[in-house]
Homo-oligomer: A and B are copies of this chain.
Amino acid sequence: MRSATPSRTLAAALPTVVDGSTVTLQGHVHRRRELASVSFLVLRDRSGLAQVVTAPSMVLPPEETVVSVTGIATMNSKAPGGVEVTEPEISLLSEPADTPPFELWRPSLAAALPTALDYAAVAWRHPAQRARWEIAAASTAGFRQSLNVQGFTEIQSPKLVETATESGSNVFMVDYFGRPAYLAQSPQFYKQQLVGAFERVYEVGPVFRAEPHDTVRHLAEYVSLDVELGFIADHRDVLAVLRTVLVGMTEAIKISAPEAIERLGITLPVIEEEIPVVHFAEALRLVGAPDDEPDLAPEHERRLGEWARRTHGSDLLAVEGYPAVKRPFYTHPWTGAEVPGGPWTNSFDLLFRGVELVTGGQRLHRHSEYLAALAVRGESPEPYESYLRAFAYGMPPHGGFAIGLERWVARLVEAANIREVTLFPRDLHRLAP
């Protein structure tokens, strides 16, 4: 039933082919250049680019058309990789392509952001854009790998939930067989419950925030890299695991995406044996903010990032002890040495080059503490019944963190807008493609 398909050679493998042998390349027409004496077709496949040389009389298919090219692998020191394909027979695997709204063969994607997003499926074909996602994919693999070797179990928690996870605001409502349900703002409640079963768990999955602000660093849907672990002394044990995870992500990028690093000119962070830590109260002093500020503004974070670089030579800075008033009810109170002000918590934010990348900390783990914490906030335990149940049956001291994948990549590649590193971003105004 099948037509015999000639064995395909990837562009990157062309330099390894015997000079003068017949090869078949398959890919998109990346660029065509029709000169007086000769024409060039640059073919793009998942491995890279290859140059095909044709007689000037040959009519070349338009850019982005998908073609199969059979010809002679021919050494030419001027060709990319030292080998080009000559005497080609070119057949079309797609119809001749329409002209894309931006030229994919230029060194960088010269398109206004809205156009690039409207034509996302085409924009991601650009090698520089593609390299950004290769960084994301390698990071995700490194995240999992670093946790697998530490005895963590990967979980998959439901995204349709009965009660808003974090608070009633910023939550999307779903018509669930005629009754209301919500999209999970985080896997928080589920990863905690499963610490009781697996002790150490992680999840890579979408989270949903009905974010009413149109900023360069917020999305309505993003990928959260979530971790939770039991039998900790306090949030510093969580931070130690976070450090190993960031090392794993960085190493995975080095190993799996060296070409993306080079193409994008990325400087990977050097992660010290211990991530520097300052208390929230000290952080306020360092940036000259009033000592009753309950949170750090982006400008504060930027200046703390500079301070960490200057003082510790570090791309990373953990700010611990965030005020209880700005943390969710499940956050464990501060157990460290007394610091004036507060009440503080055993929680932290991790700043990466001056931008908040991770939120983490120790959680409450005793059932009675939860009831008390909800009472203090004037909240009924009733909506949290199935979550609180796990604590009544014994839970170890535990904590965890969440890394925003897109934020990590955006900061690494210095994208001005988080949408530039998201495959198909969702925000206040955008629901397609």
Contacts and interface: CB of A to CB of B under 8 A. Distances in A.
Contacts of A177: 210, 212, 220, 428
Contacts of A199: 45-46
B95 A393 contact: no
Interface stretch (A33-41, A119-127, A307-315): A119-127
Contact of A394 (B97, B119, B175, B395): B97
A233 B162 CA distance: 46
Contact of A159 (B27, B141, B159, B176): B159
B194 A160 contact: no
Contact of A46 (B151, B335, B431): B151
Given A94-B365, A183-B174, A424 B190 contact: yes
Interface residues of A, number: 106
Given A45-B199, A64-B394, A130-B198, 10 more contacts: A93-B397, A94-B394, A97-B393, A121-B193, A124-B194, A156-B223, A158-B426, A161-B431, A190-B423, A204-B204
Interface of A: 1-3, 5, 8, 26-29, 45-47, 64-66, 93-95, 97-98, 100, 118-122, 124-125, 130, 133-134, 136-137, 140-141, 144, 148, 151, 153-163, 172-177, 179, 181, 183, 190, 193-194, 196-200, 204-206, 208, 210, 212, 220-221, 223, 231, 233-234, 236, 335-337, 365-368, 386-387, 389-397, 405, 423-426, 428, 431-433
